[in-house]
Amino acid sequence: MPFHDQHVHSNQSVDSQADPAECVENALNHGLSGITFLEHFDPHPAEWDECIYDDQRYSATIESLRSDSGNRLFIGKGIEVGYCRDRMDFALDFLSRHQFDLVMLSDHFFEDRALHVREEWAGLDATEGTRRFLQEMLEVARFCESVHQGGHHVFHVLGHLDLAKRYTSRFFDTNATPLCSDLIDEILRTCIAANLVPEINTSTLRQGLDEPMPGIKTIVRYAKLGGTAMSIGSDAHLAEHVGADLDHAARLLRAAGLNHVALFKDGKRIDVPLEQGCCDPL
């Protein structure tokens, strides 16, 4: 069954050395119908000096990859914007001047603490840290809702909404997400109101966790609250991880009663039935 991986990083992102052509080749070797690169755009002051995003270079790479691959698969140009409360006007201005197939908004900080740095969790246990992160994720979703009022649709996908569990599992050997179901529900309700699609991010399955981000309980809640489709992506930073565990994500969607995957081309959403193989929107 062919799938479309809507979350792939290459050497156009600061934290990846993957050759974009090798990513496409691996997608073809695995029979994927599409691959969308989501290169990092990190306006947070702690990351901006290291951000290597270069739209001219990136666009040229995408055009070259499309020319070389012909019609064998869809290659999307996407961007993963890191949320930073005080820099979102800057990010919105940038997005208004560039074109993307898919714009993801994600968060890698909470209260200006970097999630991935153990020392930043000082004074917090897994549950309190998770709650604070999810409170910020709710802020992220509400920000999208405010931006999207009046039909101006800027952000398409909310990335790895329970990312904190990757680090609580690493730092505290526990996943506190189930203890924060009230916040999860509010995030999901806001996503639905904002026409913002949550992502199923499978990277945690490669990192020792037994579920993706989010897990089945959250996916079921999303469906019960009225959600109809989600995006799926590997969050690959290595070419060999392109397409990893997308079939697992599809099984979770079906188990939750969701029968569509949300795909994006030219900023427009197309919900594709799972039985069509999560094909690209061409």
Three-class SS of residue 112? coil
Look at residue 77 and give its three-state secondary structure: strand
Residue 150: predicted pLDDT: 77
Could you tell me the CA-to-CA distances from 217 to 58, 139, 167, 224 in Å, in that order?
A: 37, 22, 19, 11
Q: Pairing state of beta strands 229-233 and 260-265?
A: parallel
Query: 211-221: buried (b, 16+ CB within 10 Å) or exposed (e) per residue?
Result: bbbbbeebbbb
Buried b (16+ CB within 10 A) or exposed e, 169-204: bebbeebbbeebeebbbbbbbbbbebebbbbbbbbb
Res 87: pLDDT: 96
Helical (H) or strand (E) element with 261 = strand 260-265
Distance of CA 199 to the CA centre of its chain: 5
* Cβ 227 vs Cβ 258: under 8 Å: yes
pTM: 0.95
pLDDT at 2: 77
Report the pLDDT value the prediction gives residue 57, as an integer from 0 to 100.
97
Contacts 24+ apart (CB under 8 A), 224-228: 225/185, 225/188, 225/189, 225/192, 226/192, 227/188, 227/191, 227/192, 227/198, 227/258, 228/258, 228/260, 228/271
The pLDDT score that the predictor gives to residue 277 is: 47
Where along the chain do its domains lie? Answer: 4-276
So what's the architecture of 4-276 in CATH?
Alpha-Beta Barrel (3.20)
Closest CA to 104 of 87, 80, 123, 88: 80
**CB neighbour list of residue 260: distance below 8 Å, 6 or more residues apart:** 228, 229, 253, 271, 272, 273, 274
Omega of the bond prior to 212 within 30 degrees of 0, cis?
Answer: no
* 3-state DSSP percent of the chain in helix, strand and coil, to 5: 45, 20, 35
SS3 80: strand
Is residue 259 within 8 Å of residue 40, measured between CB atoms?
Answer: no
What are the 10-residue block averages of pLDDT along the chain, 282 residues in total?
Answer: 91 96 97 97 92 96 96 96 96 97 97 95 97 98 94 93 97 97 98 97 96 98 98 98 97 97 97 68 38
Residue 282 is predicted with a pLDDT of: 36
Inter-CA distances, 268 with 99, 262, 263, Å = 12, 10, 8
